[in-house]
C-alpha cells in the first residue's frame, strides 16, 4: 500500500474547485441582461457540450433573486442549444426561461424545474427514429414543481419521479417512471418500463 502524500488524507484537505468561472451560465447571463434588468425579451443560440453541467441554474438563480417566485413572463429568455447537454440541464429552471436543445442530454434533465419551458429533439442531420432512441438520461424532472417540457425521443429510468406540477410529453420512459408523483401531467406516447 502506498503511503499517503503530504497534503493528502482521509478527510478534507482542500476546497474542491467546481470551476464555476468556466460555466456556460456566465455567457447566458450576459446575453440575458436586457431581460434580467428590464424584462425585455431576448433570444440567442449556443453550442453545448457534455461538460456543460447544470446549464441554466445560475441564470435561474439570477431570475429568482430579482423576480422572486413570480419569475419572468413565459418565453422572455428564449435560448437554443445545439449539442450534448451535460448533467442537470436546466435544473431548477425558473419561469421565463424557454430552452430548446437540438441534440441530446444526460441525466437529471429538468431536475427541480420551476416554471421554465424545455424542448429537446434529435440533431436535424440524424437518421435515427426519435421514438425508438433515448434522447435524455435517467431521473429527468426529479422533484419538478412547474413548467412544461416536450421530449422528442425516449427518456431513461425514473422519469418525473416526485413531479408535483410539470406538464410533459415524452415518446417513452424506462422503469419506475412517475414514482411518488403528486401533481402535474405526464403523457407517455409509447412504451413504459
Cα–Cα distance measured from residue 101 to residue 118, given in angstroms and rounded to the nearest whole number: 8
Higher pLDDT, 95 or 193: 95
Domain ranges in the chain? 48-188
Give the per-residue pLDDT at 90: 99
Cell of 80: 437554443
Segment 80-92, tens digit of pLDDT: 999 999 999 999 9
Instruction: Note the CATH number of domain 48-188.
Output: 2.160.20.60
Average pLDDT over residues 55-62: 98
Beta carbons of 79 and 98 less than 8 angstroms apart? yes
Q: Does residue 155 register a pLDDT over 80?
A: yes
Mean pLDDT of 174-191: 97
Q: Which of 154, 149, 143, 155 is nearest to 180 (CA)?
A: 143
**Average pLDDT score over the chain:** 96
Q: Report the 10 Å Cβ neighbour count for 134.
A: 18
- pLDDT at residue number 13: 80
User: What CA–CA distance (Å, rounded) separates 13 from 164?
Assistant: 40
Nearest to 62 by CA among 108, 16, 94, 15: 94
DSSP reduced 3-state for 127? coil
Confidence bin at 16 (pLDDT 50/70/90): confident
How many angstroms from the chain centroid is the CA of residue 106?
A: 9
| pLDDT for the residue numbered 6 | 74
Give the H or E element holding residue 36.
Answer: helix 33-38
| Residue 69, pLDDT above cutoff 80 | yes
The Cα–Cα gap between 185 and 193 comes to: 18
pLDDT digits (tens, 9 = 90+) for 102-119: 999 999 999 999 999 999
- Residue 47: strand pairing partners: 82
State the pLDDT confidence band at 58, using cuts at 50, 70 and 90: very high
Four-residue CA torsion sign, 177, 50, 97, 70 = positive
Looking at residue 15, what is its pLDDT? 84
Q: What is the pLDDT of residues 17-41, one digit of tens each?
A: 888 888 999 999 999 999 999 999 9
pLDDT on residue 1:
67
Please say if the pLDDT value at position 8 is more than 90.
no
Amino acid at each position: 500500500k502506498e503511503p499517503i502524500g503530504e497534503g493528502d488524507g482521509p478527510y478534507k484537505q482542500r476546497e474542491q474547485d467546481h470551476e464555476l468561472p468556466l460555466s456556460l451560465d456566465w455567457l447566458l447571463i450576459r446575453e440575458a441582461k436586457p431581460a434580467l434588468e428590464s424584462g425585455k425579451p431576448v433570444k440567442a443560440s449556443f453550442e453545448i457540450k457534455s461538460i456543460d453541467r447544470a446549464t441554466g441554474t445560475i441564470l435561474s438563480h439570477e431570475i429568482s433573486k430579482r423576480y422572486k417566485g413570480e419569475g419572468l413572463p413565459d418565453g422572455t429568455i428564449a435560448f437554443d442549444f445545439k449539442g450534448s447537454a451535460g448533467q442537470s440541464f436546466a435544473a431548477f429552471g425558473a419561469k421565463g426561461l424557454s430552452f430548446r436543445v437540438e441534440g441530446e442530454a444526460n441525466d437529471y434533465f429538468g431536475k427541480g424545474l420551476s416554471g421554465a419551458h424545455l424542448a429537446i429533439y434529435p440533431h436535424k442531420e440524424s437518421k435515427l427514429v426519435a421514438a425508438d432512441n433515448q434522447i435524455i438520461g435517467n431521473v429527468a424532472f426529479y422533484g419538478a414543481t412547474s413548467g412544461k417540457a416536450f421530449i422528442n425521443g425516449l427518456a431513461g429510468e425514473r422519469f418525473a419521479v416526485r413531479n408535483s406540477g410539470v406538464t410533459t410529453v415524452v415518446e417513452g420512459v424506462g422503469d419506475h417512471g412517475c414514482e411518488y408523483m403528486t401533481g402535474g401531467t405526464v403523457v407517455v406516447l409509447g412504451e413504459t418500463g
